[in-house]
Amino acid sequence: MEHIKLYDKTFKTFIPYEQIMASIDKVAEQVNKDFKDCTDVPILLCVLNGSIMFTSELMKRLDFNCQLVSIKLTSYEGTQTTGKVKQAMGLTADISGRRVIIVEDIVDTGKTIVELKNILKEKGASETYVCTLLHKPEACTEDLKLDYVAIPIPNRFIVGFGLDYDEIGRNLKDIYILDE
């Protein structure tokens, strides 16, 4: 098991790259099945910065036409969620009347998804779906329907594959867990 140090914290390998890829394959299969005969062009909404790597891998596996749009929301400081979701960058395209697949790196409390769904409703999305790489069911405080979940995980702090600790660690290809 590999250990890495980011700032003052040590992390150990939690989910190896191969397992992440296999999980993305499964999720993409489900999404493809659900959107197989679509005649519209759904929007793939990349929630920056964390879901860049997941969105990239998911897109490569989709069999239908889709448009990539981004938004940036923040709710974390260090290893803790602040409980407040801020919009750091608005939507990069008009989504009115469109179906939107929210692509998220992780759903923990669920507050970001609730806020995001409100933003999308305000902006006129016809339907929204949630596709997340990781989900912490124990941390979820919101009543949420997640349409696609690649990997359920315990309520622990993780980094890698797009997820960061104070803006570093996103580039790691494996996912690491805080070594306590």
pLDDT tens, residue by residue, 1-20: 799 999 999 999 999 999 99
57 in Cβ contact with 133 (< 8 Å):
no
Each residue's pLDDT tens digit, 83-139: 677 777 888 899 999 999 999 999 999 989 999 999 999 999 999 999 999 999 999
Each residue's pLDDT tens digit, 55-96: 999 999 999 999 999 999 876 565 566 667 777 788 889 999
Q: Which fold has domain 18-154?
A: Rossmann fold (3.40.50)
48 in Cβ contact with 90 (< 8 Å):
no
Peptide bond into 32 cis (omega under 30): no
Q: How is the chain split into domains, by residue range?
A: 18-154
43 in Cβ contact with 66 (< 8 Å):
yes
* pLDDT score, position 74: 76
By annotation, the residues acting in catalysis are: 108
Encoded amino acid at 78, one letter: G
* pLDDT score, position 90: 81
Would you state the structure tokens that stand for residue 100, as one six-digit string? 């939107």
The sheet with strand 99-107 has its strands ordered as 80-89, 67-77, 43-48, 99-107, 127-135, 148-152
Would you state the structure tokens that stand for residue 128, as one six-digit string? 């929204």
In whole numbers, what is the pLDDT of the chain averaged over residues?
93
Q: pTM, whole model, 2 decimals?
A: 0.93
> Which among 132, 66, 120, 70 is positioned nearest to 96, based on CA atoms?
120
What are the two backbone dihedrals, phi and then psi, of residue 57, each rounded to the nearest 5 degrees?
-65, -40
